[in-house]
Every structure is written in structure tokens, then in C-alpha cells.
Amino acid sequence: MIRLQRCLDCGEAQYPPREFCGACLSSRLTWETAESLPGRVLARTVLHHSNESAMRPRLPLTLGLVRFDAGPVAVCFLASTAASGDCVEVRLNAEALLEAA
């Protein structure tokens, strides 16, 4: 499951999350939950160097800037076959993030 923050007053979706709406400054926010979020890859990089030694065994890593159809842009791990311009479904991969932490 993946959660996206949305403002109850102006309807704007936002990411990264924060305690207020970046558009109208309302504090009335909600979380929308979905299996995955559709989006499009805006840009892609293959990372060969990490500043964290714990990440290094996983290199090279494919990363992308993905714009959700809902609006916000997120930095994501990409499948190595994904290319800029591709439509993708973004899921939360807790395992990948925990390894990174």
C-alpha cells in the first residue's frame, strides 16, 4: 500500500508530506491509500556511487523522478528497464527503503 497526502480544503495532493498544505496552508490534511500510484518517469539515473557504505552492495541502482498522475513528483527506485517517458505504477517497497536506512 502507498499513501498520498491530500488537502481537505483545496484538494491539492502533495509530496514529500508535511504538516500543512503547501498550496493553501491549511492544516486539514488526509491520507489517501492505494495499492499503487500511476505516474510517468520524468528523468532517470543509474547510480554507481553511494555516500552510505550500506548501500554499496546494491549498486548500480536505477533511480527516477516520477510525476504521479495526482500531481506531485517523487524520487523513486525504478526497475532497471524503465526509461524516461514511461508510464509506471509506484508501489511502496519497504524492504528497499529499510535497506537504505
Partner 1 sequence: MSSQSYQKVALCCPVTEPYVRRSEHGAAWFLARTLRRLIDAAGITKSTIDGLCVSSFTLPPDTAVGFTQQVGLSPRFLEWLPMGGACGIIALRRAARAVQAGDAEIVACIAGDTANETSFRDLLASFSSFSRDAVYPYGAGGPNASFALIADAYMRATGATREDFGRLAVSQRANARRNPLALLRAPLSLEEYLAARPISEPLHLLDCVMPCAGADGFLVMPEKRARALKLPFVRILGAIERHNAFPGDPVQLRGGWAMDRDALWNQAGIGPDDVQMVQTYDDYAVISMLQFEGLGLCPPGEGPAFVRRHDFTIEGSLPHNTGGGQLSMGQAGAAGGYLGAVEAMRQLLGTAEGRQVPNARHALVGGFGMINYDRGLCTAATVLSAA
- Of 8, 10, 24, 47, the residue at the interface with partner 1 (CB under 8 A) is 47
42 near partner 1, judged by CB under 8 A = yes
* Cα gap 45→34, rounded to integer Å: 26
Burial of 94 from C-beta contacts in 10 A (0-12 / 13-18 / 19+):
exposed
What string marks each residue from 5 to 34 as x (binds partner 1 by CB under 8 A) or -?
----------xxx-----------------
**Strands 87-90 and 13-14, bridge-based pairing:** unpaired
What residues line the site for partner 1 (CB under 8 A)? 15-17, 42-52, 55, 58-61, 63-65, 67, 73-77, 84, 97, 100-101
